[in-house]
Amino acid sequence: MLNRFASPISSLLDARADGHSLPAGLYTRDDVFEADLDVFFMRHWIYVGLECEVPEAGDAVVIDIGKISVILLRDDENEIRVVRNVCRHRGARILDAGPTVVSKLVCPYHQWTYELDGALSYAPHMGKDFDKSCRSLKPVQFKSIGGLIYICLADEAPKDIETLDEVMRARLAPYDLRNAKVAHQVDVIEEGNWKLTMENNRECYHCSANHPELCVSFVDLDFGFDPESLSAEDREQAEAHFAIYAERTKAWEADGFPSATVEQVRDCETNFRTQRLIIAGAGESQTEDATAASSKLLGKMTRKDLGDTHLWGHNSWNHFMGDHAVTAMVIPLSADKTLVRTKWLVHKDAVEGVDYDLHKLTHVWIETTNQDADLVARSQAGVSDPAYEPGPYSRFSERALDDFATWYIDRMRAHGY
Amino acid sequence: MLNRFASPISSLLDARADGHSLPAGLYTRDDVFEADLDVFFMRHWIYVGLECEVPEAGDAVVIDIGKISVILLRDDENEIRVVRNVCRHRGARILDAGPTVVSKLVCPYHQWTYELDGALSYAPHMGKDFDKSCRSLKPVQFKSIGGLIYICLADEAPKDIETLDEVMRARLAPYDLRNAKVAHQVDVIEEGNWKLTMENNRECYHCSANHPELCVSFVDLDFGFDPESLSAEDREQAEAHFAIYAERTKAWEADGFPSATVEQVRDCETNFRTQRLIIAGAGESQTEDATAASSKLLGKMTRKDLGDTHLWGHNSWNHFMGDHAVTAMVIPLSADKTLVRTKWLVHKDAVEGVDYDLHKLTHVWIETTNQDADLVARSQAGVSDPAYEPGPYSRFSERALDDFATWYIDRMRAHGY
Amino acid sequence: MLNRFASPISSLLDARADGHSLPAGLYTRDDVFEADLDVFFMRHWIYVGLECEVPEAGDAVVIDIGKISVILLRDDENEIRVVRNVCRHRGARILDAGPTVVSKLVCPYHQWTYELDGALSYAPHMGKDFDKSCRSLKPVQFKSIGGLIYICLADEAPKDIETLDEVMRARLAPYDLRNAKVAHQVDVIEEGNWKLTMENNRECYHCSANHPELCVSFVDLDFGFDPESLSAEDREQAEAHFAIYAERTKAWEADGFPSATVEQVRDCETNFRTQRLIIAGAGESQTEDATAASSKLLGKMTRKDLGDTHLWGHNSWNHFMGDHAVTAMVIPLSADKTLVRTKWLVHKDAVEGVDYDLHKLTHVWIETTNQDADLVARSQAGVSDPAYEPGPYSRFSERALDDFATWYIDRMRAHGY
C-alpha cells in the first residue's frame, strides 16, 4: 500500500544529503511549490525589472508573479513606485500584464481612480462620507540597484540586500542602466521546477555539449573542471588561462573596474555572486563571433574589452558587457513550470539596424535559453520518475549547486519548514 | 511558514463583513466550489431551460450541470419530463449534450431501452427473470413557471418556489413563452467564480463605462445612484425619470400588467427579484436603437411599450420584452470558470429574415456578455491575488450584491457549513 | 453539508456488490488512481512491448508508464535488457520516448555514459576516486513470453507468471513473434479510467451495435448470450456454431495447435485468458472481408485456417492469426485518461504494398478502437455523475467483467487497501 499521507516538507529537508541533488519531492510536490513561493518569492528580495522600462512619468509595466500582480511605474515626481495591481473596491485587476502609459490608474470596472502615487482620488457612487484615504493601492517595497529593480512582498525584508547594493553600485555604474533600453524581450516557459532552472544556470558542466553558440564567448573552465582529467596539453592551456585571469583582473581593477569574485551564497538571506569574466575569442560580447553587437556602447563605457560582469540572484542571472546586457528573471508558475523572461539591453539612443543588428544581439541567448529549457524539461521528467534518487554533484564544477541547495534548505528551515 | 491546513469553510463565512465583498477563499477555493455545487445547484431550485425547447413528443435537450447531466424531454402524453442521463446498466451517458429528437431513449452501449417516461422496457442479455421495474431512469423534480423550467436535484426541494410561481404566473402570461422559440443560443465561459458572474449581473454601476450598446435601452439609474453626487441638472433629470416610472407603472398596472418590484432576496431559500423596467430611447426593446427586433410580437402581446420585465434568479437573469426575450442560465464549471448560456426567444412563428433580423436581435446581449466576461475574469484574477481584501459595496448601487452575499452566507450555514 | 473527508479506499472496496460494476470512486478518484498505479502497474507483471521491436544490438525503444520511463534494448551480446531511463547523476531522462538506435546510452545533460548492459563507464568532472560501479542504470525485471515482453517494476514479482509462460509458449511458437515486425502502431487516448477500458474489452455484448467492421470476422456469441432470448431459428444456429467449435477445436488440437480455453482470472496474481477462436465468414483474419491481409504468413505458419489465438492480460489484449497479429498495451494516464497503444505485426520479411496492404491490415482495429474510445468516454462521464450507481452485469455476457472486478478488489486488498 502507498503511504497515503505525504511526508511533511521538513522530512524532505532532513533527507537532503550534502553534495547531492535534492530529494524528488522538493522538485515535484505542490505543497513544496506553495512553500517555495511563500519563502523565496514573498519573503526574499526578487528581481522583477528595470528602471529603464519606465523612463518617463506615467510609464508603467505590469509584472505577474504567480497570482500576484504588481505595477512598476514612474510617478509624476519622476520617482519609481511599485504598487499591487488590485483595486481596493472589489479587487479587479486595474492594468493588464505588460507595458503601458497612464495619466492615472483607473480601474476599468467602476472607474475607481488612483493617482500615480497610489492614492485613491475618485470613487463614484460611494457617497461623500466615504473615506478614500484608507483605500490607496497597496505599496510594494522595492530597491533599485544600479537600475535593477528588486522587490520584497513581505513586510519584513531581508537586510543583507545592502551587501548586494554596496558590491554592485560601483560595478554597475559604468553601464548606466538607467539610460539603457530594452531592445528585445523573450518569455520561455520551461517545463521544470524553478530550482532546476536555477541549478542549470549555476553550472557550465553541461555547456560544451549543449551550447555551441554560447561557447564561442564563454569559457566553461571558469565554472570548474577536474584538474586530474586534463591532458598535459590541456593543463598547460588551463594554467595559461588562469594566469591571464589574474593579470586581466589586476589590470581591470587598476583601471577602476571592480572585477574580483564576490559571493554571498551560504549563511545569508540574499543570495548572489558576481565576477568580471573574460570573454573568449574576439573578447567583446556574447555574440556568435564574440564581437560587439552594438556599435553604441552602454552608458559611459568607452571600451569593449571589459569582459562580462555576471550577476546571479536566486531568481535571476545577468551579463553586463561593453555593448549590451542580458538580464533574465525567473518566476515559478507551478511545481513543474517556470517562466524565464530574458531582456536584451542597449544604450537608450542605439538604433536598431543602425547601431545594432537584432539577430546578432539576441541569437546566442535565445539559442542558449531554448537549449536550457530542453535540459530542464528532461531533468523534471527524471526527478518525477520513482527511479530517481539524489545524485552526486561534481565537487569541481557543481559546487555552486551544492551551495544553492544548502542555502535553499537553510532558508526553508529559517521560515519554519 | 504557510498555514498548511486550509481554514474550514465556516471560518470564511464567519469572516464576511456586512456591506463588503466576500473573503477571497469563497471565490477561489476548490472545497468551496464543491460546497457551492452541493448547496446552490443540488439543493436549491435552478433554472435550466424552457418548455418551448421541447415543443413536441420526443423532443429532448440534454443539459450538463457540472458532472451531472439531465434530459429535458416531452413524453408521449405531451408532458414535460426531466430524467438523469445515466444508464442504469453500467452508467453510460445515453444522449449527448444538446437538442435531439427520440422515439425511445436507447443507451448506445448495450441498447438498454427506456420509454419516454423513463421506464426500462428492453434490457438484452439480462435474462427473463431480470426485474426491469427497479431500473427506470432516475426522475428529476421540476417546475415550469410560465414556461421556464426549474429543477431541484435534491429530494427535499425548497417550498418557497411557490412565491416565485405566484408572482411570475400573471407577469409571464402575456409573453406566452410556451409558444416561443429559441432563435439563437450562445455559450460563453467566463474565467471567474459563478458568484462573481452573479454579482456582476446584479449591479449597473459598471454599465456606463463598459456597456455602450446596452446603455442605449437600459437606464443605469434604475439600479441605484448617489443622489448627492448629481449636478442640479442631473438631479432634475433623475427626478423626472422616477416621476415617469411612477406614472408608467401605474398605467401598466391599470392595463392589467403587473409591474411593481417584488424581491425575495434575504431570509428565503429561492432567491429572485422582478420589476417591469422602462426601456430608454425608442422604448421598445434591448436593441442597438431600442426599437423592436421582431415585428411579430411574443405570445399575445399587442403592444411594444410594455417595457422590460426583468427576472433574476440565483443562477439566471431574464428580460421579457414585447418582441423578444433574453434568458441566461449560469452553471459553475470550476472555482474559476462559469458557463453563461444565453438564449434569445421570439414568437414560434417568427421567421428569420422576414420577421426579425438575427444580428439586431442578438447584438446588444452578445456584446454585453462578452464585456461582462472580461470584467469577471479581471475580478477573478484580483480576488486570487493575496493583495485582495474584501472591499465596500456602494450603499446606493451595490445593495443587491450585499443582499446576495448575505443570502449566500445564510444558505451555506443553513446547509451545515 | 458534503462529507468533506473522502472515504478511505477500503470502504469503496467493501461497498462493491458481487455481479455489479464498481462503486464510482474506484473509477474516478485520484487517490484510487495512484493506488491502481502502485498495485497493478508497479507490483504486477505488465505487458510493455515486443522482442521484435529491438531486433539487433543497439536497438532500443523507450516506453513511458505514467511518470516511469523504461528503455527496452538489445545489448552487445544480443540479449534483451530493460533499464530505467533516469541518469544516476542528476536524474535527467537519457532517451526520448519511442524507438532509436544507440551504441552507448549517453545522457545529453553532462555526458554520463552507460554501456548497453547499464554499467556507467564514463562520468566526466567527477574525479578519479569516483565509484562508478554503484551508479549503473537501474535494471528492470522482465520476461519474454513467446516474444511478448512483460516487466515487473517491484522487487518481488508475482510467481504465477509461470503459468502464463507455460500455457502460451506452445501456443505462440508457430507465430514466431521474434521474427515478426511492427507494420503499424497507433496511440489512442481514451477519456476514461483504465478499468473501463479493460471492462469494455472483456465483453462483446456491445459489439453488434457498435463494431460493424469487427463483426464481419468476430462472433459475439463466443463471449456469451442469453439462451432463452433466442428465437427457435437463432437457437438452432447457435447450436450449430458450438458444434462446429467443438469439432474445430478437436481438429486443431489433433494437428498440434493447442486451442482450448485457459483462464486464470480469479484467485491469482497474473490475470489472463486465452482460447483459439473461430474467425467468421472467410475465416482467415480480422479484416473487412475476413480474408488474410498479408500473403506472407507469420513465422512458420503454413495455414490461414487456424483461427484467432486471443490472449487477455490485465493491461493488454492480443489476437494472433495466420497472417498477422494485433497487440494492444494499456497504460493509465490519469483517473480519467488511458493510453491504448495498438501494434499490427506481420512477418519481418513481408513488404508493404507487395505482401500486404496497410489499410486492409489495420482498418478493422483502428475503427474498433475509435468506437471503443467513444464508449469508454461515455462510461466515464456516466460513472462520474452522482446519479450513477453500480449496475448489474449480465450473467451471460459480462461474466468476465465480474471476474475482473472481483480480481481487482482481491488484488487491492492483497496489497493492503
Residue C62 has a pLDDT of 98
Asked whether the beta carbons of residue B91 and residue C21 sit closer than 8 angstroms, the reply is yes
pLDDT tens digit sequence for B97-144: 999 999 999 999 999 999 999 999 999 999 999 999 999 999 999 999
Q: Where would I find the H helices in A206-317?
A: 207-210, 232-254
Confidence of residue C139 (pLDDT cuts 50, 70, 90): very high
Percent of chain A clearing pLDDT 90 (strictly above): 94
Element (H or E) spanning B198, and its range? helix B194-201
Average pLDDT, chain C: 96
Mean per-residue pLDDT, A317-344:
98
Least Cα distance to C149 among C165, C163, C160, C138 occurs for C165
Least Cα distance to A137 among A154, A109, A117, A157 occurs for A117
**For chain A, how many helices (H) and strands (E)?**
9, 17
Both C371 and C289 in a single domain? Answer: yes
Strand order through the sheet with C46-50: C46-50, C148-152, C141-145
Both B184 and B80 in a single domain? Answer: no
- In three-state secondary structure terms, C120 is strand
Asked whether the beta carbons of residue C391 and residue B87 sit closer than 8 angstroms, the reply is yes
Is the pLDDT at A155 greater than 90? The verdict is yes
Q: Which residues of B touch A124 (CB under 8 A)?
A: 205, 226, 229
In a domain, B186, yes or no: yes
Both B324 and B242 in a single domain? Answer: yes
In a domain, C166, yes or no: no
Query: Grid coordinates standing for B319?
Result: 428580460
Euclidean distance between CA atoms C211 and C213, whole angstroms: 6
Where do the DSSP E strands lie in A116-212?
A: 120-122, 141-145, 148-152, 180-190
Query: Grid coordinates standing for B169?
Result: 404566473
Q: Which residues of C touch A391 (CB under 8 A)?
A: 87-91, 135
Lowest mean pLDDT among B326-330, B343-347, B350-354, C219-223: C219-223
Site from B85, B86, B90, B112 to mutate, C interface, most C CB atoms within 10 angstroms: B90
Q: Which residues of C touch A379 (CB under 8 A)?
A: 90-92, 109
What are the residues of chain A with a beta carbon less than 8 Å away from any beta carbon of chain C?
1-2, 4, 21, 24, 199, 205-206, 209-210, 224-226, 228-229, 375, 378-379, 381-389, 391-398
In a domain, A106, yes or no: yes
Is the pLDDT at B228 greater than 90? The verdict is no
Residue C22, C-beta contacts closer than 8 angstroms, at least 6 positions apart = C12, C16, C195, C390, C405, C408
Q: How many CB atoms lie within 10 A of CB B291?
A: 16
Q: How far is CA C49 from the centre of its chain?
A: 9
Beta bridge partners of A363: none
Where do the DSSP E strands lie in C123-179?
A: 141-145, 148-152
Residue B4 has a pLDDT of 56
Residue C338, C-beta contacts closer than 8 angstroms, at least 6 positions apart = C189, C190, C192, C193, C194, C196, C197, C330, C331, C332, C376
Beta bridge partners of C263: C273
Residue A217, C-beta contacts closer than 8 angstroms, at least 6 positions apart = A279, A280, A281, A282, A285, A286, A287, A290, A308, A364
Query: Grid coordinates standing for B417?
Result: 457549513
Range of the domain at B230: 180-414
Q: Which of A92, A108, A417 sits opposite B1 (nearest CB)?
A: A417
Q: Which residues of A touch C152 (CB under 8 A)?
A: none
Q: How many domains does chain C have?
A: 2
In a domain, C169, yes or no: no
Residue B54, domain CATH: 2.102.10.10
A/B interface, count of CB pairs below 8 Å = 96
A33: DSSP letter: H
Both C83 and C196 in a single domain? Answer: no
Is the distance from CB of A113 to CB of A89 less than 8 angstroms?
no
Among C144, C171, C190, give the residue marking a domain's end: C144
Touching chains, C (3+ CB pairs < 8 A): A, B
Query: Grid coordinates standing for B139?
Result: 426522475
Q: How far is CA A236 from the centre of its chain?
A: 35
Both B124 and B210 in a single domain? Answer: no
Mean per-residue pLDDT, C218-233:
88
In a domain, A50, yes or no: yes
Both B200 and B125 in a single domain? Answer: no
Residue A11, C-beta contacts closer than 8 angstroms, at least 6 positions apart = none
Mean per-residue pLDDT, B268-275:
98
Among C144, C169, C190, give the residue marking a domain's end: C144
Euclidean distance between CA atoms A382 and C93, whole angstroms: 5
pLDDT tens digit sequence for C246-298: 999 999 999 999 999 999 999 999 999 999 999 999 999 999 999 999 999 99
Mean per-residue pLDDT, A162-173:
97
Q: What is the ipTM of this complex?
A: 0.95
Is the distance from CB of C322 to CB of C306 less than 8 angstroms?
yes
Residue B16, C-beta contacts closer than 8 angstroms, at least 6 positions apart = B22, B23, B26, B390, B405, B409
Both A51 and A99 in a single domain? Answer: yes
Euclidean distance between CA atoms C27 and C383, whole angstroms: 7
Residue A322, C-beta contacts closer than 8 angstroms, at least 6 positions apart = A284, A285, A292, A297, A298, A301, A303, A304, A305, A306
Residue B222 has a pLDDT of 87
Confidence of residue C397 (pLDDT cuts 50, 70, 90): very high
Euclidean distance between CA atoms B86 and B83, whole angstroms: 9
Among B144, B172, B205, give the residue marking a domain's end: B144
Residue C369 has a pLDDT of 98
Angle at A61 (CA atoms; ends A58, A66), nearest 5 degrees: 150
In a domain, B16, yes or no: no
Element (H or E) spanning C317, and its range? strand C316-320
Residue A231, C-beta contacts closer than 8 angstroms, at least 6 positions apart = none
Confidence of residue C123 (pLDDT cuts 50, 70, 90): very high
Residue A301, domain CATH: 3.90.380.10
Residue B217 has a pLDDT of 96
Both B191 and B313 in a single domain? Answer: yes
Angle at C250 (CA atoms; ends C244, C253), nearest 5 degrees: 135
In a domain, A172, yes or no: no
Is the distance from CB of A319 to CB of A286 less than 8 angstroms?
yes
Is the distance from CB of A123 to CB of A135 less than 8 angstroms?
yes
Both B364 and B253 in a single domain? Answer: yes
Residue C149, C-beta contacts closer than 8 angstroms, at least 6 positions apart = C47, C48, C49, C50, C51, C72, C80, C82, C142, C143
Is the pLDDT at A56 greater than 60? The verdict is yes
Residue A3 has a pLDDT of 63
Residue type, A239: E
What length does chain A have? 417
Beta bridge partners of C273: C263, C312
Q: Which residues of A touch B209 (CB under 8 A)?
A: 108, 110-111
Q: Where would I find the H helices in A202-342?
A: 207-210, 232-254
Residue type, A225: F
Q: Which residues of B touch A417 (CB under 8 A)?
A: 1
Query: Grid coordinates standing for C116?
Result: 548497453
pLDDT tens digit sequence for A373-408: 999 999 999 999 999 999 999 999 999 999 999 999
In a domain, B119, yes or no: yes
Both A356 and A263 in a single domain? Answer: yes
Both A194 and A299 in a single domain? Answer: yes
Query: Grid coordinates standing for B282?
Result: 425608442
Both C76 and C192 in a single domain? Answer: no
Mean per-residue pLDDT, C58-72:
97
Is the pLDDT at C3 greater than 90? The verdict is no
Asked whether the beta carbons of residue A126 and residue B226 sit closer than 8 angstroms, the reply is yes
Element (H or E) spanning C345, and its range? strand C337-347
pLDDT tens digit sequence for B179-211: 999 999 999 999 999 999 999 999 999 999 999
